[in-house]
Chain A
Amino acid sequence: EPEVTQTPSHQVTQMGQEVILRCVPISNHLYFYWYRQILGQKVEFLVSFYNNEISEKSEIFDDQFSVERPDGSNFTLKIRSTKLEDSAMYFCASRSPQETQYFGPGTRLLVL
């Protein structure tokens, strides 16, 4: 069964460093999403992406965040200058039109 994959599974970085989280959505999906989950808290929507542009973003998704689909398979989330409070699980999701979202296993980001 096709699934969303994410790399790396764990990332440790120093505060102020840039990180890129990678996702490979399910191959025929057209809508892509990033979510985050701070430890012990709920899953929070960050951004949705369709047709090579952001379709919606939350108030969390500020100027330090960016998303890109650099080729036909990857979907990335970049955090330009990480802060301690960026430590969280980051989940990628994808869907095809009229279908539900399928989530990846997540990347655990720890900012020191």
Chain B
Amino acid sequence: DAKTTQPPSMDCAEGRAANLPCNHSTISGNEYVYWYRQIHSQGPQYIIHGLKNNETNEMASLIITEDRKSSTLILPHATLRDTAVYYCIVNNNDMRFGAGTRLTVKP
């Protein structure tokens, strides 16, 4: 079973930042936090991952709390194409997906 908790859905206005939270209170010291998204029925798309430091790439930023029990994925300027289900996953090898957060970006 997934070791993370995410809100089932969120809305965001186009052009605004989308902040998607994830709780992973049972994370172990060597487990990474991964974020993927799935647009409609396409294959999950990798977004970003981190261990304990904040990370940023061309798609998003990942903020991990100091105790590593939660994290936030930030899409700085959400577009309509960012509408998807976003998954926060904690693991070292095999991905165990939860239900994720359905983000809807609205015009």
Number of interface residues of B (CB under 8 A): 19
Cβ-defined contact, A104 with B43, below 8 A: yes
A102 / chain B contacts, CB cutoff of 8 Å: 46
Cβ-defined contact, B44 with A43, below 8 A: yes
Q: Which residue of B42, B93, B97 contacts A48 across the interface (Cβ within 8 Å)?
A: B93
B100 / chain A contacts, CB cutoff of 8 Å: 42
How many Å from the CB of B92 to the closest CB on chain A?
10
> Taking CB as reference atom, which chain B residue is nearest A58?
B94
> Taking CB as reference atom, which chain A residue is nearest B93?
A48
How many Å from the CB of B40 to the closest CB on chain A?
11
Interface readout for B67-91 with A: 1 if CB under 8 Å, 0 if not? Answer: 0000000000000000000010000
Cβ-defined contact, B93 with A100, below 8 A: no
Interface SS of chain A: strand
A108 / chain B contacts, CB cutoff of 8 Å: 41
How many Å from the CB of A24 to the closest CB on chain B?
13
A101/B98 contact (C-beta < 8 A), A91-B43, A91-B44 known: no
Cβ-defined contact, B49 with A100, below 8 A: yes
Number of interface residues of A (CB under 8 A): 23
Q: Which residue of B46, B49, B93, B97 contacts A43 across the interface (Cβ within 8 Å)?
A: B97
Residue A109 at the B interface, CB < 8 A? Answer: no
Cβ-defined contact, A101 with B43, below 8 A: no
Residue A25 at the B interface, CB < 8 A? Answer: no
Interface readout for A98-112 with B: 1 if CB under 8 Å, 0 if not? Answer: 001111111010000
Known: A42-B97, A43-B38. 4 other contacts (CB 8 A): A43-B87, A45-B96, A93-B95, A100-B49
